[in-house]
Structure 1
Amino acid sequence: MKTKLTTLRLIVILALMLPISAFAKSYPLYLCGTGTATLEPAIAGIAPTDQVIWVDVTGGSNTTLKTGSGTDMNFTIPTGLSVGEHIYRVHSVSASPNSCTGDYTEFQFYVLPPITVGLSTPTNANYCEASSGTNTSSSITATTNTLDASLTDVTFGYLWTGTKGGTTIDVTTIGTGETTSTYTLNTTATGSYVFNAAAHYTVSSGVLKSGDGAGCAVTSANSSAITVTPKPSAPVITIQ
């Protein structure tokens, strides 16, 4: 018994020591929002009267999704599935009287959670148009929801927009980082600036299907205003 407990402890310790990359998973398909996809099996020698059966085995379930024929083999993934990994299996059964059951092929895909995005308080809510020993920039960072650590090929992309005095302005001309999680305003043009960040999913491998065609982009609420204040004019001295 002592030997078994020692072995179990070693297994647990080794598992904890393994890097996250050791558990990394990559999927051929990612869905978000109302995204869906049609799965098309290629079955050699399939006859029009043969059956093609799709089964959901996610989490140990065994739910038949569709029983089609050799001329109706495809299955379209429904929307509204739970967040996380899903596993479908497909196999064929030859027509009666033989009714031979073929081996199944398994297809795994992942449903991503809805995106949430919030903005930090600007690092410098007010700064002067010209440096006089003070900081002449201000940064805002977008924070998104946390993803499963095993999804190493799924990241967020960003696109910042902004207004000056309520009028839309090109953020590329007044700062840097418009496609990263942190945007830095460094303009010397005086005025009040407000920003938004739109976050969307992007994958480095596999296919991403989203209902909006834009990675399920979600735009943040308005940032706190950043005010660029004009510096006082130089005094004019007169003689009385």
Structure 2
Amino acid sequence: MMRPHGLCLSVGILWCVSGAVAEYSSKADLEYEFGDYRGKWCIDDHGFVYGIGEVYYPSPTACPCTCTEDGPICVRPNCPRIHPRCTRIKYKTCCPVCEAVSKVCIYGGKTYKPLEEFKLSPCEKCRCEANREVYCTVSGCPALHCVDPTFEPNHCCPVCKNGPNCYAGNRVIPAGERVSIDERTVCFCTYRDGTWQTHPHATCETRQQSDNELGGTEASTTQMEESESEMELDWGTEGNGEREKKTQFSPRLDWIP
């Protein structure tokens, strides 16, 4: 038979223990739900707890984060480049993922079949290659044989409407002709070695006098010399006549006895 004071002691102990357990459990629940966990741990969207320094994903579509005392620090990694022909992209992870790639070439908003060729302009030609990439080339223009080319509509390369020519100073002269620049200078276009392409600047030479011009000059010189000789003869004759007149005897009357 239990004594009254022993019964009271047992009841008191049980009451104290039960009260302490209830107080601890309620306190723990309040700290877990409403307590400040910063500086202690990090929690993801599903309620999992991560310690300081651990790397975790807050959500399935989030990038990796590191748990720090100041909270999670998340850095987006260098994601691979999405293919330009990708038609369906998945954004269910940190980096987007291409799920489907087009089987045609898409360029400038238009679709082209593999190995199909097309032009962007009169000078640009493109081709859809087997790897679904578009490669373009610019038309190469031939070397010009003139210095005054002109550009015409719907033509990629300039044309020489005036034919082959070159510069003689500031003047454009046609190729294949010797052109007189002045009374003593003759210029002509020359071609590059082994080609029909003209040099941009003409070759000029000093004009040589022809035989007719030389003959005419000599005749003029001879006529001038003959005229001078005749003038000298006439002058000499007139001088002799005057000297004869001056030397004629004229008697002095004052000397006659």
Class of the TM-score when normalised by the shorter of the 2 chains: under 0.3
Q: Normalised by the size of structure 1, how large is the TM-score?
A: 0.22
> Which structure: larger Rg?
2
Higher strand share: 1
Structure with larger RCO (C-alpha < 8 A, sep 6+): 1
TM, length-normalised to structure 2? 0.21
More helix by share: 2
